[in-house]
Amino acid sequence: MTYGILGNASKDSIWEPLAHLTRWLYRHDLPFLLHRSLARGLEERGLVDAAFSSEHGSDDVAAHADLVLSFGGDGTLLRSAQQIGTREAPVLGVNVGRLGFLTRAEVSELEDVVALLEDGDYGVERRMVLEVRCEGADPDVPRWALNDFVIDKSGTASMIAIEAEVDGVFLNTYWADGLIVATPTGSTAYSLSVGGPIMAPASDVLVLTPIAPHTLTARPIVLPASATVTLRVTTRDHPFVVATDGVSAELDDDGVAFTLQRAAHAVCLVTLPERDYFTTIREKLSWGQSRVF
């Protein structure tokens, strides 16, 4: 199995564990490829030599890897998933961040984790993604999302109006700071922070979560994953922002329509023994822990 290694080169904390892992893989004759930016970063820091960097560096890691290791946090894993694209190569998040709902391995245990992978002692979860189509503008954002698609106000205290349809049927006009359409994977991201429900990964649903709605009865609504959601921003006096998995662009166009539906492909996340989703939720959200104030 060839390992592809992607990561957040802006995190200083990745370099030492990354160097340790690549040396370990090399000593054990396990094939691997580093994204070119990581290979150069290791070389510039004197952690590997130029020959090592040249031999193992690649600009297209995802196309040649059987399994991808993503060094960073959840944001890095989202970007890694975009690089993998529709190929559906499994990806394992290696946590170098803080919270990490998507990452499953810690940098301190990578040798043991690779041993599990080599023994085939792991699983793969196929996570639903949203396809995003836009009519009337061409924002420079990804065309599909593992976590969420967001429409948000831009640099103003004023709310925006967002018309929402579900399968061609009018749902509501949201007067709010914005609106989130989240997958089950994205339910523990932005949607959760503004009061959306937590949805287990296998749930075949989407959730629409308004951001600071003017009407307090405008609550999150859960929809079947088969639904087609169409959103239009009808506010005309100031720009707004759209974001796909955190990659954003500002728009100032009238009549722009965004259509969201389940994509044909999935993102495949590696799971490890004794690290189930509910354990992750309990640990990351500190459920069941008593607190003394």
The catalytic residues are 74
Helix (H) or strand (E) holding 199: none
Cα–Cα distance between 265 and 87 in angstroms, integer?
8
Which amino acid belongs to residue 195? G
Contact 48, 20 (CB under 8 A): no
Asked if residue 130 lies in contact with residue 251, where contact means CB atoms within 8 angstroms, the answer is no
Non-local (6+) Cβ contacts of 248 within 8 A are: 141, 150, 152, 241, 242
* Angstrom distances, CA of residue 35 to CA of 12, 30, 126, 215, 228: 16, 16, 24, 47, 36
Q: How many helices (H) and strands (E) does the chain have?
A: 8, 18
